[in-house]
């Protein structure tokens, strides 16, 4: 399903570096989300966006920045990566109403 | 904090057997959703059950919801090796633009 793509699939970076994870969806969905998945914590919401130029914090936003200048893109930036941000990051989207989330295949980020 | 708590954490069965996974949650919901995640992939939506529904079927899947007990169960009948995956419940309170809260998941292994 090529509707939502994340890049890169794997990324290794060093502590203190800035890194941006990309997310692109082709459905023109209004809502987009970033989750991180860690053993013992399941999926936790980092940030979400209800439309272009509208973003808001989720459960674990510290250390992350998002932007949404275009409906189809929702990049996630780690301003100064820390080891605790080593995780698998998932982007997701959905249309209006109580519709299910569509997930990308994730980015596995390792911070050394 | 995780809204959904799943039980068991891991389940190992033989092909042809039924698999039952349970999810408990803490606050009021608009709907509850189940997702599947194959190793190294994103989550895929399986089924959504609304708060005014008690049971829902989709192919070999049967979901029940008991809002008085704040619990749901997912039954996979006549399981196949291809059903091997992690299964997550996710709750939607209905007022949060589709921000879902996920449980930690059940790892299902189906032996051929």
Segment A47-79, tens digit of pLDDT:
999 999 999 999 999 999 999 999 999 999 999
Answer for the pair A87, A78: CB distance below 8 angstroms, yes or no: no
Give the HSE-up count for residue B87: Cα atoms under 13 Å, Cβ half-sphere.
28
At residue B2, the pLDDT reads 43
pLDDT at B104 over 60: yes
At residue B98, the pLDDT reads 74
At residue B63, the pLDDT reads 98
Contact assignment for B92 to A98 by CB distance below 8 Å: yes
How are strands ordered across the β-sheet holding A76-78? A4-7, A19-25, A76-78, A64-66
Question: What tokens were used for A37?
Answer: 């998945």
pLDDT tens digits for B45-91? 999 999 999 999 999 999 999 999 999 999 999 999 999 999 999 99
pLDDT at B4 over 70: no
Judge whether A69 is closer than 8 Å to chain B, CB to CB: no
Bridge partners of residue A34, in order along the sequence = A47, A91
For residue B99, name the pLDDT band (cuts at 50, 70, 90). confident
Nearest CA in chain B to A88: B40
Task: Please list every residue in chain A whose beta carbon sits closer than 8 Å to the beta carbon of residue B101.
Answer: 45
Bridge partners of residue A37, in order along the sequence = A43, A88
Which residues have C-beta within 8 Å of that of residue A80, sequence separation ≥ 6?
A16, A17, A18, A63
Contact assignment for B42 to A45 by CB distance below 8 Å: no
At residue B76, the pLDDT reads 98
At residue B1, the pLDDT reads 38
Question: Min CA distance, A42 vs chain B (Å)?
Answer: 4
Average pLDDT for chain B: 92
At residue A2, the pLDDT reads 62
Closest to A31 (Cβ–Cβ): which among B35, B98, B101? B98
Contact assignment for A43 to B50 by CB distance below 8 Å: no
Closest to A103 (Cβ–Cβ): which among B30, B42, B98? B42
Question: What tokens were used for A88?
Answer: 């698998």
| Closest to B102 measured CA to CA, from A96, A38, A55 | A38
Instruction: Determine what percent of chain B is predicted with pLDDT higher than 70.
Output: 96
Contact assignment for B42 to A105 by CB distance below 8 Å: yes
Answer for the pair A91, A36: CB distance below 8 angstroms, yes or no: no
> pLDDT tens digits, chain A, 112 residues: what are they?
469 999 999 999 999 999 999 999 999 899 999 999 998 788 999 999 999 999 999 999 999 999 999 999 999 999 999 999 999 999 999 987 667 899 999 999 999 9
């Amino acid at each position: 399903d090529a509707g939502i793509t994340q890049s890169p699939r794997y990324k290794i970076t060093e502590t203190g570096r800035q890194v941006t994870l990309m997310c692109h969806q082709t459905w023109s969905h209004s809502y987009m989300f970033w989750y991180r998945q860690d053993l013992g914590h399941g999926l936790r919401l980092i940030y979400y966006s209800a439309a272009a130029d509208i973003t808001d914090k989720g459960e674990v936003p510290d250390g992350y920045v998002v932007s949404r200048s275009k409906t189809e893109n929702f990049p996630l930036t780690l301003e100064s990566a820390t080891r605790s941000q080593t995780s698998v990051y998932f982007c997701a989207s959905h249309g209006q109403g109580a519709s299910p989330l569509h997930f990308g295949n994730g980015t596995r980020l390792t911070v050394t | 904090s995780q809204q959904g708590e799943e039980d068991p954490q891991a389940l190992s069965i033989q092909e042809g057997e039924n698999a039952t996974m349970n999810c408990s949650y803490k606050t009021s919901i608009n709907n509850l959703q189940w997702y599947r995640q194959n190793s190294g992939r994103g989550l895929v939506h399986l089924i959504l059950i609304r708060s005014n529904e008690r049971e829902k079927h989709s192919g070999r899947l049967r979901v029940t919801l008991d809002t008085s007990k704040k619990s749901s169960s997912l039954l996979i009948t006549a399981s196949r090796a291809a059903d091997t995956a992690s299964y997550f419940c996710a709750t939607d309170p209905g007022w949060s633009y589709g921000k879902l809260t996920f449980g930690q998941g059940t790892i299902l292994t189906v032996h051929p």
